[in-house]
């Protein structure tokens, strides 16, 4: 237990502000400030119904349609009856329970982890949960945000609380300045490559250091989003002037003098200088190169100028077998130069990298060039889509030969039918290169939006940096 | 929720690292209702080849493991997506315990809520258990949650589990009933919190 006056980390401060009670075995009952639900939350809604219980605080739950919604032909009725039923089910569940829904057709609809921040529903100091592992995204605002399963979603609906055990605290410090062409995604993949896909398991992570504070909110969201890919319970960045500037005048944040008072309270949400963490990791920003994944977990990540690993050179037999299987699935020869890996498809989208800054970064590479492979751009929200169109980015994507779609999770996990065909290789801005993630037999290479654009115009994995020469980014 | 106190059953070795929830239950099955039973699609893409044929080398396709109720898995089992249906699929296929060197945090939490024990053994112990099972697959394994031991023949391993999960599984606690017993504290918290953090409520509804 943290004693009074003992130096506290950001994570400690966020945790203690939400603790209602703590049992002897260490379980704490936490208050939930914001609860986001989506079409995939249908398992959970059946539980209050079965118990005949009303929702505890329907005004603190917000719903979006994102996981199953079509990215094409929004003006038409959804043809797939199963998918239509799931989307309709969310509408029925939210209206029956008095929950605000950003549904299909709402100009604010989009991916839950884009919409929450965009609407100002996500702010510093909040405890935020959602039945989606990438809820860690919202930690970018100095919130305590994590993904939960359907039973916990049901518990939150019925009680607005959650039983949790306090995780250990980890700080990942990235000092220095990243080079030109390096995105938050590269930082995230560099961290995951360093600590492993389970490196932050059991830990709440705070990202700190000059390379982190230099990031925009979009970049911080990408970073915190990917903390689950390092196994972390949640990721967070201490709120600062960048955070407050992003939030000011957003629809759901306090307005006027109330906003100023909120900023004052939020400004205290930093780790005390003398606070200690259970684990510290440090990376030098200057050493981070553009990174791509070669295998089937996000820690299979290497700088673009590298080569695929060779199982014959792995000392550990278990590791050698893993590398062999992963290369076999990915159809990559051992030791192959990464820049010689030809791609079949490009995807720019997902809760990781479909915000306006991501689309601008991809467009900066694509402008005046043509993609050698088919590709889809699915904006993170309908508002991002509108803004991109106002900026003329949609023209750049279309002129490059890419499809400009509607907002949703789309090809990140293919629930809506946007899948990568069996055996196809996709350069993707998403978060998981798991086997079959983008469709059965699909081969996924994770990278930043600019790197996907570079791969698209090159026809193979490529270093974006030479392609940026002489361009304004 | 069904209690978990003690279980004696066949244990199926499946020692691959990083078996994430997309492998346990591919996303395309997430739209299935639980009532359909998800056991048949457990590990679907690992279990079957691209043409839908069962892969003979996949352990769960072998008659020997048809009645296994314990899975001995590799490091970082259940990482990735928060889909609770991954746990439903294991449970519906008859599994009541997964033993591994480590688990994805959300998976472990989901497991407890459904009466599935996620028992943590060291890498070395998992390897030893695997080899022993390979030598004599029919010999059952006994998992005792009260004593936190996994026993097979004369050999016994101590496993780790956090005390919160242990309590919940041993008692078969229903979270909602438990939380309801703290109603007074919740009300007191929210009253004080509204004054302490006036900015925490959305500015509109």
Residue B143: per-residue pLDDT: 98
pLDDT one-digit tens code per residue, B126-171: 999 999 999 999 999 999 999 999 999 999 999 999 999 999 999 9
| A223 contact partners, CB below 8 Å, separation of at least 6 | A140, A184, A187, A188, A207, A212, A215, A235, A237
Q: Please check whether residue A36 is in contact with residue A371, taking contact to mean a CB–CB distance below 8 angstroms.
A: no
Q: Please check whether residue A102 is in contact with residue A38, taking contact to mean a CB–CB distance below 8 angstroms.
A: no
Average pLDDT value over all residues in chain B? 95
Residues of A in contact with B26 (CB under 8 A): 436, 440
Residues of A in contact with B81 (CB under 8 A): 132-133, 432
| Domains in chain B: ranges and CATH | 6-172 (3.20.19.10)
Nearest CA distance, A395 vs chain B (angstrom) = 33
Task: Give me the residue from A251, A261, A434 closest to B199, CB to CB.
Answer: A261
Three-state DSSP class for residue A150: helix
CA A198 to chain centre: 17
Residues 395-424 of A with CB under 8 A from B: 413-415, 422
Q: Please check whether residue A311 is in contact with residue A393, taking contact to mean a CB–CB distance below 8 angstroms.
A: no
- Helices A356-366 and A217-225, axial angle in degrees (round to 10): 100
Residues of B in contact with A198 (CB under 8 A): 18, 75-76, 79, 102, 104
Q: Please check whether residue B118 is in contact with residue B112, taking contact to mean a CB–CB distance below 8 angstroms.
A: yes
Classify the C-alpha dihedral A277-A282-A285-A290 as positive or negative.
negative
Task: Return the closest-CA partner of residue A211 out of A172, A244, A248.
Answer: A172
CATH number at A10-279: 3.30.499.10
Residues of B in contact with A102 (CB under 8 A): none
Q: Please check whether residue B142 is in contact with residue B6, taking contact to mean a CB–CB distance below 8 angstroms.
A: yes
Question: Which H or E run contains B158?
Answer: strand B155-158
Q: Please check whether residue A408 is in contact with residue A78, taking contact to mean a CB–CB distance below 8 angstroms.
A: no
DSSP summary character for residue A290: P
Residues of A in contact with B87 (CB under 8 A): 149
Task: Give me the residue from B102, B182, B193 closest to A21, CB to CB.
Answer: B182
- Distance in angstroms (rounded) separating the CA atoms of residues A306 and A285: 18
For residue B124, is pLDDT > 60? Answer: yes
Whether A55 has its CB under 8 Å from any CB of chain B: the answer is: no
pLDDT one-digit tens code per residue, B58-115: 999 999 999 999 999 999 999 999 999 999 999 999 999 999 999 999 999 999 999 9
| A379 contact partners, CB below 8 Å, separation of at least 6 | A110, A349, A354, A359, A385, A388, A405, A406, A407
Residue A290: per-residue pLDDT: 98
Nearest CA in chain A to B84: A149
Nearest CA distance, B86 vs chain A (angstrom) = 10
Neighbours of A278 (CB within 10 A): 14
Residues of A in contact with B179 (CB under 8 A): 29, 155, 159, 161, 163
Tokens of B76: 């970082």
Residues 440-459 of A with CB under 8 A from B: 440-441
Residues of A in contact with B178 (CB under 8 A): 163
For residue B193, is pLDDT > 70? Answer: yes
Domain ranges in chain A are 10-279, 290-468
Q: Are residues B50 and A21, on separate chains, in Cβ contact within 8 Å?
A: no
Regions of chain A short of the pLDDT cut 50: 1-2
User: H-type helices in A160-305, by residue range?
Assistant: 184-195, 210-213, 217-225, 241-247, 257-266
What's the rounded mean pLDDT across residues B201-205?
Answer: 87
Q: Are residues B102 and A198, on separate chains, in Cβ contact within 8 Å?
A: yes
Question: Which H or E run contains A239?
Answer: none
Q: Are residues B80 and A29, on separate chains, in Cβ contact within 8 Å?
A: no
Residue A4: per-residue pLDDT: 61
Residue A1: per-residue pLDDT: 47
Residue A5: per-residue pLDDT: 76
Q: Are residues A432 and B80, on separate chains, in Cβ contact within 8 Å?
A: yes
Selecting from 1.10.3720.10, 3.30.499.10, 1.10.357.10, 3.40.225.10, what CATH number does the domain A290-468 have? 3.30.499.10
Backbone angles phi, psi at A456, to 5 degrees: -65, -45
| A435 contact partners, CB below 8 Å, separation of at least 6 | A296, A329, B22, B23, B45
| A326 contact partners, CB below 8 Å, separation of at least 6 | A294, A295, A296, A297, A300
What's the rounded mean pLDDT across residues B42-58?
Answer: 94
- Distance in angstroms (rounded) separating the CA atoms of residues A179 and B140: 57
What is the ipTM for the molecules in this complex?
A: 0.96
A407 to each of A360, A448, B54, how far by Cα in Å?
A: 16, 19, 37
Whether A21 has its CB under 8 Å from any CB of chain B: the answer is: yes
**Distance from first CA to last CA of chain A, Å, rounded?**
47
Question: Which H or E run contains A22?
Answer: strand A19-22
Entry pTM: 0.97
Neighbours of A273 (CB within 10 A): 6
- Distance in angstroms (rounded) separating the CA atoms of residues B91 and A277: 37
Q: In what order do the strands lie in the sheet with A425-428?
A: A403-404, A375-377, A345-348, A425-428, A443-446
Q: Please check whether residue A451 is in contact with residue A443, taking contact to mean a CB–CB distance below 8 angstroms.
A: no
Residue B15: per-residue pLDDT: 87
Tokens of A453: 């654009």
Q: Please check whether residue B10 is in contact with residue B60, taking contact to mean a CB–CB distance below 8 angstroms.
A: no
Whether A83 has its CB under 8 Å from any CB of chain B: the answer is: yes
Tokens of A179: 């080079």
Identical fold for domains A10-279 and A290-468, yes or no, is yes
């Amino acid at each position: 237990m943290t004693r009074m006056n003992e130096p506290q980390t950001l994570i400690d401060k966020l945790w203690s502000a939400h603790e209602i009670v703590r049992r002897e075995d260490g379980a704490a009952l936490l208050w939930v400030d914001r609860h986001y639900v989506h079409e995939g939350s249908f398992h959970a809604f059946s539980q209050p119904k079965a118990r005949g219980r009303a929702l505890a605080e329907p005004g603190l739950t917000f719903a979006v349609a994102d996981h199953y919604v079509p990215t094409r032909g929004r003006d038409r009725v959804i043809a797939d009856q199963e998918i239509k039923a799931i989307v309709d089910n969310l509408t029925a569940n939210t209206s029956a329970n008095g929950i605000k829904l950003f549904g299909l057709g709402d100009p604010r609809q989009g991916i839950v982890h884009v919409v929450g921040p965009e609407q100002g529903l996500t702010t510093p100091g909040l405890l935020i949960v959602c039945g989606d592992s990438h809820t860690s995204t919202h930690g970018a605002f100095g919130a305590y945000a994590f993904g939960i399963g359907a039973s916990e979603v049901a518990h939150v609906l019925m009680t607005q609380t959650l039983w949790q055990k306090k995780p250990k605290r980890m700080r990942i410090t990235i000092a220095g300045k990243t080079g030109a062409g390096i995105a938050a995604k590269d930082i995230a993949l560099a961290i995951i490559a360093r600590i492993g896909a389970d490196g932050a398991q059991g830990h709440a992570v705070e990202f700190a250091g000059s390379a982190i504070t230099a990031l925009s909110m979009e970049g911080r969201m990408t970073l915190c989003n990917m903390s689950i890919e390092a196994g972390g319970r949640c990721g967070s960045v201490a709120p600062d002037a960048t955070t407050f500037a992003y939030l000011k005048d957003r629809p759901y944040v306090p307005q006027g003098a109330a906003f100023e008072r909120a900023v004052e309270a939020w400004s205290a949400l930093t780790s005390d200088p003398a606070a200690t963490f259970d684990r510290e990791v440090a990376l030098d920003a200057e050493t981070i190169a553009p990174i791509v994944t070669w295998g089937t977990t996000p820690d299979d990540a290497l700088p673009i100028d590298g080569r695929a690993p060779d199982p014959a050179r792995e000392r550990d037999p278990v590791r050698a077998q893993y590398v062999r299987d992963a290369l076999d699935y990915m159809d990559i020869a051992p030791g192959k130069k990464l820049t010689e890996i030809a791609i079949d498809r490009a995807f720019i989208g997902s809760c990781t990298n479909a915000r306006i800054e991501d689309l601008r970064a991809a467009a900066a590479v694509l402008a005046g060039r043509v993609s050698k492979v088919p590709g889809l751009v699915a904006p993170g929200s309908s508002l991002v889509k509108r803004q991109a169109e106002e900026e003329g980015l949609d023209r750049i994507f279309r002129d490059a030969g890419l499809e400009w779609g509607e907002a949703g999770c789309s090809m990140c996990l293919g629930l809506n039918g946007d899948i990568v065909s069996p055996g196809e290789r996709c350069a993707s801005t998403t978060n998981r290169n798991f086997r079959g993630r983008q469709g059965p037999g699909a081969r996924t290479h994770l990278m930043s939006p600019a790197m996907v654009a570079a791969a698209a115009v090159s026809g193979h994995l490529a270093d974006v940096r030479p392609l940026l020469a002489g361009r304004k980014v | 929720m069904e209690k978990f106190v003690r279980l004696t059953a066949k244990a199926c070795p499946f020692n691959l690292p990083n078996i994430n929830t997309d492998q346990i239950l591919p996303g395309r099955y997430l739209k299935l209702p639980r009532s359909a039973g998800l056991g048949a699609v457990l590990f679907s893409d690992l279990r079957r080849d691209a043409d839908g044929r069962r892969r003979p080398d996949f352990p769960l396709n072998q008659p020997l493991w048809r009645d296994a109720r314990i899975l001995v898995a590799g490091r970082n089992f259940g990482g990735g997506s928060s889909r609770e249906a991954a746990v439903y699929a294991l449970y519906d296929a008859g599994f009541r315990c997964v033993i591994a060197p480590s688990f994805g945090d959300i998976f472990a939490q989901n497991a407890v809520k459904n009466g599935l024990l996620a028992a943590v053994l060291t890498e070395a112990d998992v390897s030893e258990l695997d080899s022993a099972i390979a030598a004599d697959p029919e010999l059952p394994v006994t998992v005792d949650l009260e004593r936190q031991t996994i026993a097979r023949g004369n050999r016994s391993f101590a496993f780790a589990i956090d005390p919160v999960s242990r309590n919940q599984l041993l008692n078969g606690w229903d979270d909602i009933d438990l939380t309801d017993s703290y109603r007074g504290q919740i009300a007191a918290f929210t009253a004080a919190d509204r004054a302490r953090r006036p900015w925490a409520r959305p500015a509109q509804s």
